[in-house]
Amino acid sequence: MLRRFEAVFLILAAGVALPAGAASTLRAVPTASAAALELGGNGGGSFTRIVRVAELEVVSDNPRGVVVEISSGAIAKPGGDAVPFEVTAVLRGSPRPSAGDFLTPSGDTFRFVSPLPGRVLLTVYIRYTSAGILDPGTYSAALQISLSER
């Protein structure tokens, strides 16, 4: 019997907390790989993946810069299994992060601080280790991304 695992990743850009008159913006675009995560789970053993899931553009005229916060959590099936994931972001064009670059534990919020005004382009990655066996079905997760001025 073939077991089917589908993972859907939803990128939410919300909660932009800016003072009146500020001109800071956040734009988040999910990647194609965010909607096609390989979870395994059919008894073939576990494996670790690092996947690019979103591109961010942050623009601010605030002289003190901005803070971008990105949630982490689990890729889960309602009432079923969950695969925890960690998140990190790097400046666009930087090398792909390694496992040691994921310093924020699953369930905690990753913070990127830009201390200056201007435009910052970020690439968001998740790191997860699949389980050897998972219940078949559709798995999903969401990243909550917020922007605030310093």
Distances (CA, A) of 143 to 34, 77, 123, 129, 148: 11, 16, 13, 17, 16
Nearest 5°: CA angle at 119, between 109 and 24?
A: 70
Average of pLDDT values for 26-30? 88
Could you report the per-residue pLDDT of 37-86, keeping only the tens digit for each? 888 777 777 889 999 999 999 998 888 888 999 999 998 888 888 899 99
Structure-model confidence comparison of residues 138 and 3, the more confident one: 138
Q: What is the pLDDT of residue 109?
A: 94
Domains assigned to the chain: 5-149 (2.60.40)
Could you report the per-residue pLDDT of 82-135, keeping only the tens digit for each? 899 999 999 999 999 999 999 999 999 999 999 988 899 999 999 999 887 888
Longest CA pairwise span in the chain (Å): 59
